[in-house]
Amino acid sequence: MIPNNYHELNYSKIATYLFCPFLYKLKYIEGRREGLVAVTSLGVSIHKTLEEYHTNSNDPESLLIYYNRCFLGAGYANAAEQMEYYLKGKRIIEDYAKREKYRQSEILGCEKEFQFEHNGWKFRGKIDRFEKLPDGTYHVIDYKTDARISDNFDVTKSLQLALYTVGTKRALGKTQGKASIYFVALNKIFSIPFDEVNEDFVLDKYIEIGEKLEGTDFPPCTKSCIQCLFRMRCPHSIHTERYIKFNRL
């Protein structure tokens, strides 16, 4: 079966394939959905809150109002878990509001889309926050809501920021600036200047993986099972949690 977005690449596809090729097959070829759990649900709520806030207000006093409007109740095991995560998110938003009082950048867009073509492939992306800095350069931000940063995290190796940098230059026409991953729950930001991204290397890497996406071989990567939301349903999972056959869902 050939997916209908054949020859189109984005970071989510690439990241999913690198995490586990079989997971890519489940999600992008068979169209199965992961569903929400507490952590991912709160992540959606925070992203939506910041998008609505920066698009409609930019008054820090209003942030909690947007959070209450955007908080998603789905994905929680019960009301107690939902309240626990609501309060976690509220703390994140309150801290973000304090930092907003000192922000000097000008927000140019949220969920800003770009697309461009290269060597017959279409590249697409969506930038969480796109802004202009006081020195006139541009800043591309991807929010992460993780509660901890992985020991091997290295912003200079981020294929996501690399693609966003190339997209900002080629599709949005902004060549000077930096791209960042902003861990909003931890108030930590990691940046890479646009100049340090090797465009040819990044695009070649995406296309190299893209060619595998259009092949027929999607082997399971069982070292990822422990972090995989499909581990309860996947026939290849080595995780000890119960495996449920697809046809019982």
* DSSP secondary structure string for all residues of 2-68: --TTTTEE-HHHHHHHHH-HHHHIIIIIS-------HHHHHHHHHHHHHHHHHHHT--GGGHHHHHH
93 binds ligand SF4 (CB under 6 A): no
What does the per-residue mask of binding to ligand SF4 show for 3-42, with x meaning CB under 6 A? Answer: -----------------x-xx--x----------------
Nearer to ligand SF4, 141 or 234 (CB): 234
237 binds ligand SF4 (CB under 6 A): yes
Nearer to ligand SF4, 191 or 222 (CB): 222
Number of residues counted as binding ligand SF4 (CB under 6 A): 15
CB 48 within 8 A of CB 145: no
CB 133 within 8 A of CB 177: yes
Nearer to ligand SF4, 22 or 138 (CB): 22
Residue of 43, 60, 177, 220 that binds ligand SF4 (CB under 6 A): 220
Q: What is the smallest separation between the CB atom of 135 and ligand SF4, expressed in angstroms?
A: 43
Nearer to ligand SF4, 135 or 217 (CB): 217
Q: What is the smallest separation between the CB atom of 236 and ligand SF4, expressed in angstroms?
A: 4
CB 143 within 8 A of CB 128: yes
- b/e string for 7-25 if b means 16 or more Cβ within 10 A? ebbbbebbebbeebbbbbb
Which segment (10-18, 32-40, 101-109, 230-238) binds ligand SF4 by CB under 6 A? 230-238
Residue of 44, 171, 202, 221 that binds ligand SF4 (CB under 6 A): 221
**Angle between helices 159-170 and 11-19 in degrees, nearest 10:** 160
236 binds ligand SF4 (CB under 6 A): yes
Q: What is the smallest separation between the CB atom of 27 and ligand SF4, expressed in angstroms?
A: 9
What are the Cα distances from residue 24, in Å, to 5, 40, 75, 102? 14, 18, 22, 41
- Read off the amino acid at residue 115: Q
Sites of contact with ligand SF4 (CB under 6 A):
20, 22-23, 26, 220-222, 224-225, 228, 230-231, 234, 236-237
